[in-house]
Structure 1
Amino acid sequence: MSTKTISHVAKLLTNGSSKVILLSGAGVSTASGIPDFRSAGGMYDTLRPELLTASDKEKKLMEQDPTYVVSWDIFKTNPLPYLEVRRPFILGLHEDDIWKPTLYHAFSQLLSDKNKLLRSYTQNIDGLDYKLSIPTEKLISCHGSLATISCEGCGAPMETSTFTNLVKTQIKDIYKTDSSAPKKSTPIKCPSCSKPLVKPSTVLYGRNLPAEFHDNAQTDATAANILIVAGTSLTVFPTASLPQMAASPNMTRLVIDRDTATGFRADINIAKNPNDIMLEGDCDSVFLDIIEEAGWLEDLTKYKDSLCESSKNLLEGRLLYASKAKSE
């Protein structure tokens, strides 16, 4: 990673006129222990349809395309595979509170605190963007969120505590980590319409994105002068079209990812556009570098205890190093 590039990014961010839009994917949450669905070892890569409550035809379709498990096509007639796959995520967020924000989320918060954040678009459904104090109007969950529960049929909401208890007692544990889980899954019915379509308010494949994405994306892409794309493969549209919307001579587009090919899939190419930047590395480490170079390390400490263990340890190590360097 180029120190000069980090310095350049920090200088852009600390400029008084900087207005930033963010686009994040699963890579910004992996430090919290949430798996990256699309990478090797992620949910789609390791999906085992034979463990799910599904017909032979449904299992075959999931073998051919793992994303079928989170599609409207199967959910509308058989919601159990979705709930079985999502069970540990639902319980982890609502019951165990084992998921906490990462340094990316703290960076987003700092941008908001400094009135530099125009909007944060996330493809993640984990709800971590909402666990600090960014105003909700600045957050757009492009693919919905596990944080709220509703019926996919009639739209009626359900209390998260009620839903979590039903998931725990009615949905089997295919991951074999909960000995108290039932051996067989039974549908969770909506109290309003009696259909078994209650689920976290995530966007299934085959369903429309929230209207707020379409209402704001083009306007934000024009109003901002910095776009930061982090931890996403940019393969799912229409959210992946945001970098194209933001292509202009006055826009700096920064991609942070472990896969350098990501930037080229986003049509971001530093060989063609000097305003485009690619930083390769783990999101937590790169964002901490940027925060430190921008002089925001002290501001970050107020959120230290809200961070996941991995992010917190990384920050504490950096603070200790900075303190020693200052005293020498």
Structure 2
Amino acid sequence: MEEARERLQRAERVAVLTGAGVSAESGIPTFRGSGGLWEGFRPEELATPEAYARDPEKVWRWYAMRYAQVMQAKPNEAHRLLVELERAKERGFLLVTQNVDGLHARAGNRRLVELHGNITRARCERCGHRQPLPPPDDFTPPPICERCGGRMRPDVVWFGEFLDADHLAQAERAFMTADVALVVGTSAVVEPAASLGRIAKSAGAYLIEVNPEPTPLTPLADLSLRTSASEGLRAVWRQDG
């Protein structure tokens, strides 16, 4: 533990990947397991282009429910610790998240890549314009594009869709050049994000994993903590030493 803390304190370049486990402490369910977001649903029913084409109203109802849930949530200690880490490392820091809840940005992270999009925004099917959703109490889906009047879809990456190439390239560069890589609250099974930790390790980074359960990344990690996101980050990142 001491080595991990010292390496993180000394590191000039730090890359972080976060998953649903970070937001779980804010009351947002993870995707898998009992009580998860997919319990009782199949992803192809709600989170694919085909599902949206087949029944856009059903898909929007589910996303509107999730959006309302997300807006009730507040950033937790793990989010705040990652803001502290960004401020300490400045331009040597990048946070890459698989989460679509926007909590990292609300906590204050600015050097941030949202690989899978953001549930608090919509994207126009016609012109590609993005705009924030109105407050949940005022939101009646589907939203209409303020630019061209077209119907909008959730601004998230669905199963079967490609990630934004620029965002992915930015994430890969950060992990390839990191002195320390942190992978927090993710099962490390959803590609291509799951490969970022392996990229960092192959390039010589010190790899720290924080997750309550073992993952495919665990055998490669220099330190693997079986705990919550906030407890793990608190253990390896203490401003007071």
Q: SS of the counterpart of 1:115?
A: helix
User: Aligned partners of 1:223 and 1:255: how far apart in 2?
Assistant: 18
Partner of 2:224: 278
User: Offset of 1:157 from its aligned partner?
Assistant: 3.3
Deviation at 1:131, TM superposition (A): 0.9
Partners in 1 of 2:201 and 2:112 — Cα distance? 22
Selected match of 2:154 from 186, 196, 200? 200
Equivalent residue for 1:111, pick from 85, 89, 106: 85
TM-score normalised by length of structure 2: 0.87
Is 1:242–2:188 an aligned residue pair? no
CA shift, 1:73, in A, is 1.3
Q: Does 1:269 align with 2:219?
A: yes
Contact 2:67–2:136 under 8 Å retained in 1: no
Which residue, 40, 45, 51 being the options, matches 2:39?
45
For residues 75 and 130 of structure 1, what CA distance do their matches in structure 2 show?
Answer: 27
Question: What is the rounded CA distance, in whole Å, between the counterparts of 2:187 and 2:234 in structure 1?
Answer: 21
Match of 1:295 in 2: 240
- The normalised TM-score by structure 1 is 0.66
Per-residue deviation, 1:249: 6.2
Unaligned runs of 5+ in 1: 48-61, 171-186, 297-328
Corresponding residue SS for 1:278? strand
Distance 1:149 1:252, change over 3 A: same
The amino acid of 2:123's aligned partner reads S
- Alpha-carbon spacing, 1:221–1:289, altered in 2? closer, same or farther (3 Å): closer
Contact kept in structure 2, 1:144 and 1:210, CA below 8 Å: no
The answer on 1:165 being equivalent to 2:138 is yes
Q: In the alignment, is residue 126 of structure 1 matched against residue 101 of structure 2?
A: yes
Residues 153 and 259 (structure 1 numbering): CA distance in 2 closer, same or farther, change over 3 Å? farther
Q: C-alpha offsets along residues 161-199 of structure 1, whole Å, 9 cap, x if unaligned?
A: 2786233xx6xxxxxxxxxxxxxxxx555563544xx23
From the two aligned structures, give the one with the greater helix fraction: 1
Q: 1:242-263 CA deviation, whole Å, 9 max, x = no partner? A: 1222123631111100111x1x
1:11 aligns with 2:45: no
How many residues get paired?
Answer: 239
Contact 1:154 1:193 in 2 (8 A): no
Shift of 1:290: 2.8
Alignment deviations for residues 205-235 of structure 1 (CA, whole Å, 9 cap, x no partner): 1222122323213321222111110111112
Instruction: Give the share of equivalent positions with the same residue, in percent.
Output: 24
Structure 2: which amino acid aligns with 1:150?
A: R
Summarize the Cα distance change of 1:91–1:199 in structure 2 as closer, same or farther, 3 Å threshold: farther
User: In 2, Cα distance between the equivalents of 1:215 and 1:73?
Assistant: 27
Which of 74, 89, 92 pairs up with 1:100? 74
Distance 1:290 1:156 in 2: 40
- Partner Cα distance (1:213, 1:128) in 2: 18
C-alpha contact 1:21 1:119 (8 A) present in aligned 2: yes
Greater Cα offset, 152-161 or 79-88: 152-161
Matched letter for residue 191 of structure 2: F
Alpha-carbon spacing, 1:190–1:162, altered in 2? closer, same or farther (3 Å): farther
Against the structure 1 CA distance between its residues 159 and 43, is the aligned structure 2 distance closer, same or farther, given a 3 Å change threshold? closer
Mind listing any 5+ residue stretches in structure 2 that lack a counterpart? none
By percentage of residues, which structure has more strand?
2
Task: Determine the structure 2 residue equivalent to 1:229.
Answer: 183
1:40-64 CA distance string (max 9 Å, x none):
32011243xxxxxxxxxxxxxx3xx
**Map of 1:180-195 to 2, 5 A cutoff?**
190=145, 192=148, 194-195=150-151
Q: Distance in 1 between matches of 2:193 and 2:126?
A: 24
Structure 1 residues 29 and 144, CA gap change in structure 2 (3 angstroms):
same
The range that moved more, 66-75 or 126-135, is 66-75
Distance in structure 1 (CA, Å) of the matches to 2:3 and 2:44: 39
How far off is 1:153 after superposition?
4.1
**What secondary structure sits across from 1:23 in the alignment?**
strand
Distance in 2 between the 1:188 and 1:160 partners?
Answer: 8
The residue correspondences of 1:121-160 to structure 2 (distance < 5 A) are 121-135=96-110, 138-160=111-133
Q: Aligned to 1:255, what secondary structure does the other structure show?
A: strand
Aligned partner letter, 2:54: T
Match of 1:214 in 2: 168
Question: 2: distance between equivalents of 1:190 and 1:77?
Answer: 21
